[in-house]
Amino acid sequence: MTAAVAKPVLARSSAHSIVEASPRTKAFAGALVILYALITILPLLWIVATAFKSQSDAIAYPPKVIFEPTLEGYVNLFTVRTRQTPDFIAKLPPPETWYDKLVRKHDMVIAGPSKVVPRFVNSLIIGFGSTFLAVFLGTLAAYAFSRFRIPLADDLLFFILSTRMMPPVAVAIPIYLMYRQLNLTDTRLGMILLYTAVNVSLAVWLLKGFIDEIPREYEEAALVDGYTRLQALRKVVLPQAVTGIAATAIFCLIFSWNEYAFAVLLTSGEAQTMPPFIPFIIGEGGQDWPAVAAATTLFVVPIVMFTVLLRKHLLRGITFGAVRK
């Protein structure tokens, strides 16, 4: 109460408040943020726009900002097409759908669906599957490290962290050989296990920090009140760790969603994810930039959605511990 009374007095009496930034500082900070936003968002907008360009517009010089939008890029992304002679196309029955029509303009016919949908599904299953596993295992391990007296706890934690100290490529060959022996190459299970293994170390360290911040008294109160450890963890600790779990999940998902090197090495067909698939699109029928841009746009959507959904938690999660009420 006294603070509330004292504050305005303080603000008036001192020219240089350490709490409130001056308008000039604020404007400068705002400009910086806008500049940064432009730098990061512009390429993304360019990709989204390119997906709606025709192939010639996409490579036009100088680059076209205003153009006639077309869905060719998306159609090309989702279909496999074959080039035919104009005579052959003329003999065909009239096109049944808008995308048939669009393709025939370029003397092509649709031969079937492309592999983008199964690849996308692979990405979803592997990305979310490994994220779930990493966060699940990470939470349990972090809880144990945070609450119990574990022999060699510090060494174990260091060991867990050490798995992230080398570039992944360093272990690529051994993992490739191991996976071949275990018949895990080009399987979704293999990729989920691999990404989980990489992410779990991050998850343990991040979550341990969050769980350390939750006073033990909460669970102890639940224990005394008749709950078991696991019940106390589920009903008392987890609801309070939601922020940390959300932040961790986003970091894990971003890693496994974007991972390229291992995906190229270990998948080729069945379990191929989007990152190694997208470059392949370029090769099919000339440099089809609009199709690549379409694939990239779709690829970005889930992670943006996930992040936006958990945005509130993420923001609190990243600043957690810094500001504690």
Partner 1 sequence: MAQIRIENLRKSFDQFTAVEGSTFTIDDGTFFALLGPSGCGKTTTLRMIAGLELPTEGKILLDGEDVTFHRAAARDIAFVFQLFALYPHMDVGQNIGFPLKCQGMARREIRERVQETARMLRIEHLLSSKTSKLSGGDRQRVALGRAMVRRPKAFLMDEPLGALDAEFRHLMCGELRDLHDRIKATTVYVTHDQLEAMSMADQIAIMNKGRVEQIGTPQEVYDRPASMFVADFIGSPPMNFLRFEGGLRSGDRAIKFHDTRLVVPEIREDRASAALALGIRPEHIRFSDAGSVRGEVFGAEYLGTTQIVTIDTAYGRVAARLPSSASVRVGETVGLEFNSVRLSLFDAGSGLAIRTAGEEGGRHG
**Toward partner 1, which CB reaches closer, 64 or 147?**
147
Binding to partner 1 in span 197-216, by CB under 8 A: 215
**Residue 321 interacts with partner 1 (CB under 8 A)?**
no
Ranges of H-type helices in the chain: 2-13, 23-50, 55-58, 72-78, 86-91, 98-104, 116-147, 153-162, 172-181, 188-213, 217-224, 229-232, 238-258, 261-266, 274-283, 289-309, 311-318
**Toward partner 1, which CB reaches closer, 157 or 222?**
222
**Residue 234 interacts with partner 1 (CB under 8 A)?**
no
**Residue 154 interacts with partner 1 (CB under 8 A)?**
no
**Residue 240 interacts with partner 1 (CB under 8 A)?**
yes
CA angle 19, 20, 26 (to 5 degrees): 135
Let me know: does 207 contact 142? Beta carbons within 8 Å: yes
User: Which residue among 19, 65, 166, 224 contacts partner 1 (CB under 8 A)?
Assistant: 224
**Residue 220 interacts with partner 1 (CB under 8 A)?**
yes
CA angle 198, 126, 313 (to 5 degrees): 75
**Toward partner 1, which CB reaches closer, 29 or 221?**
221
| Residues touching partner 1, count (CB under 8 A) | 16
Instruction: State the minimum distance, in angstroms, from the CB of residue 311 to partner 1.
Output: 20
User: DSSP letters of 204-243?
Assistant: HHHHHHHHHHS-THHHHHHHHTT--HHHHIIIIIHHHHHH
Instruction: State the minimum distance, in angstroms, from the CB of residue 324 to partner 1.
Output: 12
Site string for partner 1, 157-196 (x = CB under 8 A): ----------------------------------------
User: Which residue among 96, 225, 286, 324 contacts partner 1 (CB under 8 A)?
Assistant: 225
Site for partner 1, rule CB under 8 A = 215, 217-218, 220-228, 231, 236, 239-240
